[in-house]
Chains A and B, each alone.
Chain A
Amino acid sequence: MSASGTIDSGIANREPHAPEATLDRPADYLHAQSTLRSWFLTTDHKRIAILYLASITAFFIIGAVAAGVVRLALVVPNGAVMANDTYNKAFTIHGVVMVWFFLIPSIPATFGNFLIPLMIGAKDLAFPKLNLTSWYVFMTGALFTMVSVVLGGIDTGWTFYAPLSTAFSNGWVLPALIGVTIVGFSSILTGLNFVVTIHTMRAPGMTWFKLPIFVWTHYATSLIFLLATPVITTALILLIMERAFHIGVFDPAYGGDPVLFQHLFWFYSHPAVYIMVLPGMGVISEIIPAFAQKKLFGYRFVAYAAIGLASVTFFVWGHHMFINGQSDLASLAFSALSFAVAVPSAVKVYNWTATIHKGKLRLDTPMLYAMGYIGLFVLGGLTGLYLATLAINQHIHATYFVVAHFHYIMVGGTVLAFLGGLHFWWPKFTGRMYNEAWGRISALLIFLGFNVTFFPQFILGYLGMPRRYATYPPEFQMLNVLSSAGATILAAGYIFPMLYLVYSLWFGRKAPVNPWDAKGLEWETTSPPPTLNFASPPEVPRVPYDYPIQEQETKAQHR
C-alpha cells in the first residue's frame, strides 16, 4: 500500500551509480549534452528511445516505399509494370523490413524504453548499458539485411520457407538471414531489461496493481521476447547452416523436413504478433482514460488479459499450417485453441468501450487514433477467427483475405496505436506541442485510407485471389485498383505527421507538464523530463488511473 514515508529515500537508493549532483542539473535530457558522442554513447533510456525512434522511422519509410512498389505493380493484372522478380523482391523487402525492423521494435523499443522507468518512478532501466547495446545489436542486424537489399534483394518472402530459401532462391538470402538472426538478440536483451526493471525498480508504494496497463502489456511482451525469440534464432541458424553448408535439416534432398521449419518459424512468429499487438493495447489503455477523464474500466481484468494473451499465444502456432501437411488431429486442436484467443481480446475491447461510457470525452488526435484502433482491431481480430475456422481456412488460406486480416491487426492495431501514442506523449518526449488541426486531419486520412486499401482485399481473398501474385486474372483488377488508390490516401496520412511533428520540434508551442490532464507518473515530471527523470521523488497515487470519474466497482478492484 501507499507508504509515503519511504518514498523520499526510495528513488535515490535505486540507482547506485548515479552521481548526486546531476539531480540538480536544470537542463532536460535533450539539452543536457549536445555532442554526437553524448547521443551515440548515452545510457539514458530516453535518449536510447529517441535513437530507436529515428531508426525505426527510417525503416518504416523503406518498408512503405516497398509497399508502394507492390501496390503500383498490382494496378494492372498482366505484370506490365515490372518483372515478376522485381515484384517478388518488393513484397519480400516490405515484409522483412516492416515485421523485423519496424513492427517488432516499434512500441516497446521507443515508448517502452522511454516510459517504463517514468511510469514506475525509476531513474532508468535496470541495465542502462545493456539497453544501449541492444540498440547497437539492432542496428548491426539491420545493416546486414540492408546489405542484402542493396546488393540486389531477396525474393523468399518474409517467411523464408525452406527449401525455397535454402536451395532454390538466387537472391542474397544469407546476409538477410544473418541480419534477422542478430536482431533477435536485441529483442532478447530489451525483454530481459524490461522484466528486471519492472520487478526491481518500482518506486516504493508502486505495487503491481498500481502499474499502468502500459507497463503490464510491456511485461507480457517481454516474456514473449524472452521465451519465443530463442526459437526463431535457432531456426534461422539452422536455415543458414543448410543454405551455406548444405547441412540437411529442412530440405528433403538432404534428408530434412520442410514442415519442421514452418513449426519452428510459427512457434516464434505467432507469439510475435502479440509482441506487436500487446504494447499497442497498452498505449490505447493509457489514451482512452486520459481523454475520457475516467478510470479504466475493469483494470484487473485488462491486466490479466495481457498475461492471458501472452500465454495463449504460445499454443496456437499450428493454425498457420492447416493445409501444410500437419496432421488433421493437430489442426483440430490448434483451431479450437485459436478460438480461445477471442476471450482476452474481447475483455480488452469491451472494457475500453465501457471506459468511454459516461466519460467526459475530448476527441483530440490521440483519442481519434484510439477509437480508430478499436474499430480496426475488432475487425482484424474477428476475421482471425474466420481463418481459425478449419473449413473456411481451406478456402482463404494464403489468399488476400489473410493479407487483409493481418494488416487490420498490424496497421489498424499496431501502427494506429504507435501514432496515437506518438501524439499522446510527443509533448513529453520533445517538450513541444504539434498542430492539433493537422493531427486530426492526418488521423482521419489514415483511417479512411487504410480501410479503402485493405477492405477490398477481404473480398479479393474470398473471391480466391492468392497472395504474392505478380500477375492476376483480369476480373480482380477493379478491386486492386481501389486498393492501390486507398494506399495513396494512406501515404498522405503518413507523410503529414512526419512534416508537422518535425516542424513542431523548432516552431511548436512549448508543452506544459501535463497537457492532457492525464494521470500517471510520467505526467508528474517536466516536459521533457530531466536526465534522471524526476527532480523530486514522485508520489505514487492511491489507485491507478485516478481520474475524476470513477465507476463504483466491486471492492475486488483495488484492495
Chain B
Amino acid sequence: MTPKHAALELWPAAASAVAVETDYLILAFTVLTLVLTVPVFLAITWFAIRYRDGQEANRDTSGIRSNLIEISWMLIPFLLTLIFFVWGARLFVISKNPPPDAMVIEAIGRQWMWKFQHPTGQSEINDLHVPMGQPIKLRIISQDVIHALYLPALRVQMAALPDRYTELWFKADKPGTFHLYCSEYCGTDHSAMEGSLTILSQGDYQDWLTHSGAQQSKVAAGKAIYNAYGCGTCHDDGSNVQAPKLAGLYGRAVRLADGRTITADEDYLRDKIRNPNGNRLAEGYKQIMPSFAGVIPEDDLGRLIDFLKSNTRTVGDAASGEATR
C-alpha cells in the first residue's frame, strides 16, 4: 500500500503519543524562536530606517551599563532554551527505554532493502505491518553498510549498523499506512530503500499474520531481489547503459538478434536471466550481461519474475503504485 497524500501537506501525520508530544515540543520551540528573533529583525529594520544617514535623529548615547546588558542577553535566551533541552531529553529517555512486554520484530537492512521478521515467523520485505496499542521493539542490524530505519509518522529513527544490534521502540495508536525510509545514505539506490509502515488493529494484525503474510509480498520481494542484484543499474529507464529497459516488457513481442520474434513470457524471462546471451540476445544489443544461472536461487528467481510481470510501467515510478512498491 502506498500512503495516500494530498499534493501539498504542511504537517506530517502523527501515529503515536511520542509523535504528538514531539510536535508540541517543536511548536513550542518555534514560539520561542519567534520571541527571540522577531525583536532582533524588527530592531534591525527599525534602526535601518530611523538612523539612516541623513535622517534627523537623536544619536546621543545613553551610557548603557554594557556589562549588565551583555550578561542578560547571554543568559536569558540560554536559560529559556534549556527548558527545551530538558523536555527533549525527557522524551528521548522515554523513547530509549522499551517496556518489558514489547513485541520484538527483527529488522535487517541491506543494499537496498529492508527485511522484517515477525515473532511468529512471518517475514516481509520493505513493508512493515504492526498492531496498534502494543509496544513494538525493533531489533535492527545491517548486513553491509550503515543504514537507518526512519518512521516519520512515529517521529523516530535509528541506525542499522553492521555487526551490531540497535533498538527502536514505539507504541502506535492510529491505524493507517505511512512511509518507511532508509535515512542513512547507503549507495546507489538509497532512495529506493523505502516502503510502508502499516498500523493495524489487533484483530486485523492477527488476520494479516494468518492470511496475507505470504501472498502480499511476492511482488515486493521480487523488487527487493531486482534491487539486490543491481538489475536496475542497467535495465531501469533512467540508466545510461546500453541494455533493454524492462518496464512493460512482459507479454510483449521481442525481436532477437538472429531474426526470430518471440513473446516475452515467463519462460523467456527465466531463460534470459539464467543465460542472457547466445541465441536469446535481443536485437540491437551487445553481449554484456553476465549469466545468473546458479547465482539467483530458484525461489528468488520466481519472485523476480513475478515482479517483472507486475512491472507494467517505469521502474521506480511512484505513479505505478503497488506494482513497484
A residues whose Cβ falls under 8 Å from a Cβ of B: 77-85, 88, 155, 157, 159, 161, 163-164, 167-169, 251-253, 258-259, 292-293, 297-298, 301, 322-325, 328, 331-332, 335-336, 339-340, 342-343, 346-347, 349-351, 353-354, 356-363, 371, 374-375, 378-379, 382-383, 385-386, 388-395, 397-399, 459, 462-464, 466-475, 477-479, 549-554, 556-557
Contact = CB atoms under 8 A, between A and B. Distances in A.
Contact of B89 (A161, A297, A361, A390): A390
Contacts of A551: 61, 63-64, 66
Contacts of A550: 61
Contacts of B57: 358
B238 A84 contact: yes
A475 B12 CA distance: 11
A467 B181 CA distance: 11
B59 interface: yes
Interface stretch (B183-191, B209-217, B274-282): B183-191
Given A390-B89, A473-B5, 16 more contacts: A83-B238, A85-B188, A88-B190, A292-B51, A340-B78, A358-B59, A361-B47, A362-B52, A390-B91, A391-B87, A391-B88, A391-B89, A395-B22, A397-B183, A462-B12, A475-B7
Nearest to A550: B61
Contacts of B111: 168
Nearest to A470: B191
Interface string B222-260: 000000000001001111100000000000000000000
B134 interface: no
**3 smallest A-B Cβ distances: which pairs?**
A464-B152, A252-B163, A390-B92
Contacts of B179: 464, 473
Given A169-B187, A325-B159, A84 B87 contact: no
B161 interface: yes
A479 B188 contact: no
The dominant DSSP class at the B interface is: mixed
18 contacts: A84-B188, A88-B187, A157-B185, A163-B162, A253-B163, A293-B53, A324-B184, A331-B92, A358-B51, A391-B18, A391-B90, A391-B91, A397-B157, A398-B157, A462-B26, A463-B11, A474-B7, A474-B319
B316 A339 contact: no
Contacts of B37: 378-379, 382
A340 B85 CA distance: 11
Contacts of A155: 187-188
Given A323-B148, A474-B319, A357 B85 contact: no
A398 B12 contact: no
B66 A554 contact: yes
Q: Which of B10, B164, B188, B189 has the most CB of A within 10 A?
A: B188
